[in-house]
Chains A and B, each alone.
Chain A
């Protein structure tokens, strides 16, 4: 990833968010005169992923939801996988109850993300209410990849704000244009999600054997259960792979046992942050922006 450009002060692959993408707060040299890394990373990811809201808006409307229903989901639910799940169940003629249950179940992973984020971001009481809305895959990945709590908070705020605005505008655009634009697939937008998720966990996969085993087991579980369980449930089930990894004997685990603040940068694997865009990347144009 961009480690060679943005982390030149440390040996490549030796800094980052090894433990869970977080927990190890290694020192990072002050950057040159540009926006803080966490903010740039967050905005880049927000724009890149947010545009796939076009795909959701289009999918929702073609599945039978109204434009306003599509927008309400993006504004209030704001968790892509659940939104897509509900739309796909409605499109396939499934029951609304099953669709709702599946979508909510799919959102339960955000609870687990919230557990980790609360530790790093530590929002104050009232701020928790708006912050909770932003607890999703992308904000978690970026936030936990930051080297210290201050950067983590900035990264969370930047990613959340940028992604929220972009996702909602894109949803509206996609919903309004559903009948007019060609299939989002023509722009390869259906690959944006899978590629982004893979890129976000890539550094973790390189960081330890347990991580790779957990990821493989998660994939195997989810795919094995695809035709048996309702849409969305197999992915939730993949969390049991993480349970297995967590209960595995420590000896088999990667050395970096998570200890916020004291994990060593020297044993740390490459971080999620190296997965983030850097200032030299082509820019923030969206992949497959149907312009």
Chain B
């Protein structure tokens, strides 16, 4: 078994264990109002951070790709216009793809 396989399987096992831990933790932990509020806000903080990181970083460096930024900007416009979820995604991807096809970035 190669080192890469060990990394792959260790990642898989670790990720699964973390997921299972969340499902099996005693529910009374959520009885505390602050814990509950924390659990509610976590997706907001993490998804926002994830969205930003995937947009403007590449590894440990910043990477301001014009087409990608424009794609996310288009998504924001679509969201403001109350477009359905899939439309938002398609508009974002199409904007980035279009700009790249036009030779930008």
> Contact between A281 and B85 (Cβ–Cβ < 8 Å)?
yes
Instruction: Chain A residues near B35: list those with CB within 8 A.
Output: 246
Instruction: Chain A residues near B24: list those with CB within 8 A.
Output: 118, 128
Residue of B nearest to A256 (CB): B40
Closest Cβ of chain B to A90, distance in Å, is: 7
A107 within 8 A of B: yes
> Contact between A20 and B41 (Cβ–Cβ < 8 Å)?
yes
Tell me which residues from 1 to 37 in chain B have a Cβ below 8 Å from any Cβ of chain A. Answer: 3-16, 18-25, 27, 29-30, 33-37
A14 within 8 A of B: no
Which among B19, B40, B94 is the interface contact of A288 at CB below 8 angstroms? B94
Against A, the Cβ 8 Å flags (1 = close, 0 = not) of B73-84 are 001100100111
| 30 A–B contacts, CB within 8 A, in A order | A2-B85, A3-B82, A44-B86, A79-B19, A90-B7, A99-B7, A103-B15, A107-B15, A110-B15, A110-B22, A112-B42, A115-B29, A116-B39, A116-B40, A137-B43, A188-B97, A190-B68, A190-B96, A191-B72, A194-B51, A194-B52, A194-B68, A231-B60, A238-B45, A242-B44, A245-B38, A277-B85, A281-B86, A288-B93, A288-B94
User: Which residues does B use to contact A, with CB under 8 Å?
Assistant: 3-16, 18-25, 27, 29-30, 33-57, 59-62, 65, 67-68, 71-72, 75-76, 79, 82-90, 92-98, 100-101
If A82-B15, A194-B54, A281-B87 touch, does A90 touch B4 (CB 8 Å cutoff)? Answer: yes
Residue of B nearest to A185 (CB): B100
> Contact between B7 and A86 (Cβ–Cβ < 8 Å)?
yes
Closest Cβ of chain B to A144, distance in Å, is: 8
Measured in the bound complex, the distance between the Cα atoms of B40 and A204 in whole Å is 10
Measured in the bound complex, the distance between the Cα atoms of B8 and A82 in whole Å is 11
> Contact between B93 and A287 (Cβ–Cβ < 8 Å)?
yes
Instruction: Chain B residues near A81: list those with CB within 8 A.
Output: 50
Measured in the bound complex, the distance between the Cα atoms of B31 and A67 in whole Å is 45
Query: Lowest 8 A-B CB distances belong to which pairs?
Result: A114-B22, A20-B40, A188-B93, A218-B45, A238-B49, A76-B12, A188-B96, A287-B93
Which among A83, A191, A205, A278 is the interface contact of B96 at CB below 8 angstroms? A191
Instruction: Chain A residues near B56: list those with CB within 8 A.
Output: 223
If A1-B85, A20-B39 touch, does A115 touch B25 (CB 8 Å cutoff)? Answer: yes
Measured in the bound complex, the distance between the Cα atoms of B21 and A37 in whole Å is 29
> Contact between B86 and A282 (Cβ–Cβ < 8 Å)?
yes
Instruction: Chain A residues near B83: list those with CB within 8 A.
Output: 1-2
Residue of B nearest to A2 (CB): B84
> Contact between A276 and B85 (Cβ–Cβ < 8 Å)?
yes
Instruction: Chain A residues near B12: list those with CB within 8 A.
Output: 72-73, 76-77
> Contact between A141 and B97 (Cβ–Cβ < 8 Å)?
no
Residue of B nearest to A231 (CB): B59
Against B, the Cβ 8 Å flags (1 = close, 0 = not) of A173-213 are 00000000000011111111111111111101100001100
Which among B4, B53, B79 is the interface contact of A69 at CB below 8 angstroms? B4
Against B, the Cβ 8 Å flags (1 = close, 0 = not) of A83-127 are 100101010100011011001100111111111111100010000
Measured in the bound complex, the distance between the Cα atoms of B95 and A182 in whole Å is 17
Instruction: Chain A residues near B11: list those with CB within 8 A.
Output: 73, 77, 82-83, 86, 99-100, 103-104, 107
Instruction: Chain B residues near A239: list those with CB within 8 A.
Output: 42, 45-46
